[in-house]
Amino acid sequence: MSLLTVGSVAFDALETPFGKTDKIIGGAATYITLSASYFTKDNNLVAVVGDDFPQSMIDTLVSHGVNVDGLEIRKGEKTFFWSGKYHDDMNTRDTVEVQLNVMEHFDPIIPDQYQDCQYLMLGNTAPAIQHMVVKRMKNRPKLIVLDTMNLWIEIANADLKALLRDVDVLVLNDEEARQLTGDYALVRAAATIKAMGPKTVIIKKGEHGALLFHEDRIFAAPALPLEEVFDPTGAGDTFAGGFIGHLAKTDDISFDNMKRAVIYGSAMASFCVEKFGAERILNLSKEEIQNRVNEFVKLSAFSVEM
Ligand code: AMP
């Protein structure tokens, strides 16, 4: 089934306890579409960049099967820039700088050939823009998944709440779930979010895995204990890309299949953190991904004797 992703395509500058990068390619939609490319061939992007964005990276997306008809390149303008610095725990980070540039006037145009997409991934960007995308789809997709961040919870809370009424799944991290609901207990926070609209809530807990709340059921997925975590940037988006990519591939949105999708998302995210930026998710084989998924199965398999 076809997938449409909207979100940032960006330049990032990153600093972790292990090193620093100059401008590298980043952006939520970049990570999402690359990650999803390992699952679905019908992988469509709506985003905006300036004419400083390298053609070689667009070619990389295309070589992964991403349809870039909806990638607007604005002449004379600069690509969105974000820079972040991680704390020693690698789970928390500070935004050092944001230059909105082209994102300031992002007016997402959905090409006609994307209108029938069944799976819609609203990657990180302003909630008002994400909502515009939902409203511009002539037919409502079968599943709408939303990712957001602390910034929007803080500065665009009303827009975000309006959008939540129109989405099926919200993916966010534990800190954001607490910020959005004012509740420390994640089970209660998830219930509060479900009352805001989405039937399904996924709360990511970094190196501690993820919780999937679907109607009155809960699934706990581990994160793979890794010897080296180099750079968590994009892990959340890579998770989202694996999650929705698996659902689009199988066209099954049952709870059981969402559990598998959470594991595929977690496996993809575990690759992403092994190198800076998107480097590690550029050249994965199907076999590597399946082996990683098998590690997740082994990691949490146990039997009980009564
Ligand atoms: P993640 O680590 O999964 O939260 O995603 C990191 C990516 O989000 C980076 O590549 C950034 O370019 C992108 N990003 C950071 N802040 C924003 C923002 N305000 N709007 C859109 N994308 C952003």
Q: Tens digits of per-residue pLDDT, 132-186? A: 999 999 999 999 999 999 999 999 999 999 999 999 999 999 999 999 999 999 9
- In this predicted structure, the answer to whether residue 89 has a pLDDT above a threshold of 90 is no
State pTM to two decimals.
Answer: 0.97
Give residues (CB < 6 A) around ligand 1: 8, 10, 12, 26-28, 82, 98, 124-125, 151, 233-237
Give the residue-averaged pLDDT of 24-32.
Answer: 97
Any domain includes 111 = yes
Give CA 61 to chain center in angstroms.
16
Any domain includes 65 = no
pLDDT of residue 207: 87
Tell me the two tokens of residue 151: 């910034």
pLDDT of residue 75: 96
Which residues form the domain of 206?
Answer: 30-42+104-300
Mutate to test the pocket of ligand 1, among 149, 229, 266 (most ligand atoms within 8 A of CB): 149
* Confidence bin at 18 (pLDDT 50/70/90): confident
**Residues 6 or more apart whose Cβ sits within 8 Å of residue 18:** 230, 231
Which ligand 1 atom is at minimum distance from the Cα of 81?
A: 12
* Confidence bin at 261 (pLDDT 50/70/90): very high
CA of 172 to the centre of ligand 1 (A): 13
Any domain includes 89 = no
Any domain includes 154 = yes
Give the residue-averaged pLDDT of 226-250.
Answer: 95
Give the residue-averaged pLDDT of 281-285.
Answer: 97
CA of 233 to the centre of ligand 1 (A): 8
Any domain includes 14 = no
Closest CA to 149 of 234, 216, 207: 234
Tell me the two tokens of residue 181: 């609901």
Give the residue-averaged pLDDT of 230-237.
Answer: 93
Question: Looking at the 3D structure of the chain, how many domains does it have?
Answer: 1
pLDDT of residue 230: 85
Q: What is the CATH number of the domain that holds 37?
A: 3.40.1190.20
Which ligand 1 atom is at minimum distance from the Cα of 126?
A: 20
Any domain includes 122 = yes
- In this predicted structure, the answer to whether residue 227 has a pLDDT above a threshold of 90 is no
What is the spatial distance between Cα 240 and Cα 124, in angstroms, rounded to a whole number? 11
CA of 27 to the centre of ligand 1 (A): 5
Any domain includes 76 = no
Which ligand 1 atom is at minimum distance from the Cα of 239?
A: 3
pLDDT of residue 209: 95
Which ligand 1 atom is at minimum distance from the Cα of 232?
A: 2
Any domain includes 125 = yes
Mutate to test the pocket of ligand 1, among 233, 238, 243, 272 (most ligand atoms within 8 A of CB): 233
SS3 state at 13? strand
